[in-house]
Amino acid sequence: MTVRHFLADDDVTPAEQAEILTLAGELKKDPYREKTFAGPQSVAVLFDKTSTRTRFSFDAGIAALGGNPIVVDTGSSQMGKGETLQDTGAVLSRFVSMIIWRTFAQSNLEQMAETATVPIINALTDDMHPCQILADLFTCVEHLTDNHTPRELAGKKAIYLGDGANNMANSYMLGFATAGMDMTICAPAGFQPEQPFVDRARAIGRSTGATITVTDDVAAVAGQDVVITDTWVSMGQENDGKDRTTPFLPYRVTEEMMDTAGKDAIFLHCLPAYRGNEVTAGVIDGPRSRVFDEAENRLHAQKALMVWLAAHQPGA
Ligand code: CP
Ligand code: NVA
């Protein structure tokens, strides 16, 4: 029996992603409708890295679905001390109905998935942050479309500026391409995405109509519907020996830059944000910012994902 996991943005098809986003909208209106984890069944929520939004949104979301979240900072567990991830996956599967995990290497998730008999959800790795992308797409549905349907995202244009080689940039390419949105990554030399992620997103775009552009020219902000940035120093990169300030200075999102985007353009940031670095206070605290709706939408999008994933297991 093959378990269906959500380890990467493109683990769901365009049609499936649209189903999850539609369900997110329904659950935002009717938060306690679904009781996927009634029993209560338990769900493991594991953190190898720090978190505010992911931790609270999964904990609250699992409770709202009738379940019992077991939230663990893995430093206080036996994980990482030599026990294999395959053993951990097999053991946790005897206790919980789903595993949510924020970790470093994407391959950690894949190793646990070798033995887990319950679905695993990627709560951020060095490579991707697909739950954040579902929340961002749902925020775009709310703020950019007339009829609030995921289908209307196709053809919208988004640009991400800053560290184009990080987890968010990869996930924007994969997840937004799945939604049919044109995605531009605008980043300095040395911080542009690895080619395999670009190729993978372009392959998705061949079926959804999305285009993927990589540039170092901030003039690409012109006419965009969504302007996005993220921290210049992701978790785990604090001491990587790179200058993570000077190369990014031209890519700071400013009011002047936002004025070159589409007239109804919105600003997104997954948070935590560092005002004065990747974005000015005037933008993130200004009228075009949707960052707090975006943060709230983690809850609705992840609940939808868990409900959907539970219903799409073999034999479910
Ligand atoms: N955006 C996000 O994942 O935030 P946390 O690191 O606080 O979970
Ligand atoms: N790129 C950031 C995202 C935080 C939610 C990081 O990995 O630290």
- The span from the CA of 122 to the CA of 5, in Å, is 9
Consult the annotation and say whether 130 binds a ligand.
Answer: yes
Q: Which secondary-structure segment (H or E) carries 311? A: helix 291-311
Catalytic residue numbers, as ranges: 102, 129, 132, 230, 270, 298
Query: In testing the pocket of ligand 1, which one of 230, 271, 296 has its CB within 8 Å of the most ligand atoms?
Result: 271
Q: Atom of ligand 1 at shortest distance to CA of 270?
A: 1
- Residue by residue, DSSP assigns 125-154 as -SS--HHHHHHHHHHHHHHH-SS--GGGGT
Work out the burial of residue 12: count CB atoms within 10 Å of its CB; fewer than 13 is exposed, 13-18 middle, 19 or more buried: buried
235 among annotated binding-site residues: yes
Q: Ligand 2: distance of its center to the CA of 35 in Å?
A: 31
Q: In a 10 Å sphere around its CB, with 0-12 CB exposed, 13-18 middle and 19+ buried, how is residue 245 labelled?
A: exposed
Nearest alpha-carbon partner for 223 in 136, 159, 268: 159
167 CA to middle of ligand 2, Å?
A: 7
Q: Measuring from atom 7 of ligand 2, which residue has the nearest CA?
A: 234
Q: How many CA atoms lie within 13 A of 306 on its CB side?
A: 33
- Cβ of 102 closer than 6 Å to ligand 1, yes or no, is no
In tens, the pLDDT along 33-75 reads 999 999 999 999 999 999 999 999 999 999 999 999 999 999 9
Q: How far is CA 76 from CA 5, 71, 87, 137, in A?
A: 25, 11, 17, 34
What does the block give as tokens for 21? 């986003």
For the chain, 316 residues long, the average pLDDT of each consecutive 10-residue run is 93 98 98 98 98 98 98 96 97 98 98 98 99 99 98 98 98 99 98 98 98 98 98 98 98 98 96 98 98 99 99 92
Kindly give the distance from the C-alpha atom of residue 232 to the centroid of ligand 2, in angstroms, as a whole number: 9
**Measuring from each residue's beta carbon to the nearest atom of ligand 2, which residues come in under 6 Å?**
124, 129, 166-168, 230-231, 234-235, 270
The verdict on pTM exceeding 0.75 is: yes
Q: In this predicted model, what pLDDT tens digit does every residue of 84-123 receive, in sequence order?
A: 999 999 999 999 999 999 999 999 999 999 999 999 999 9
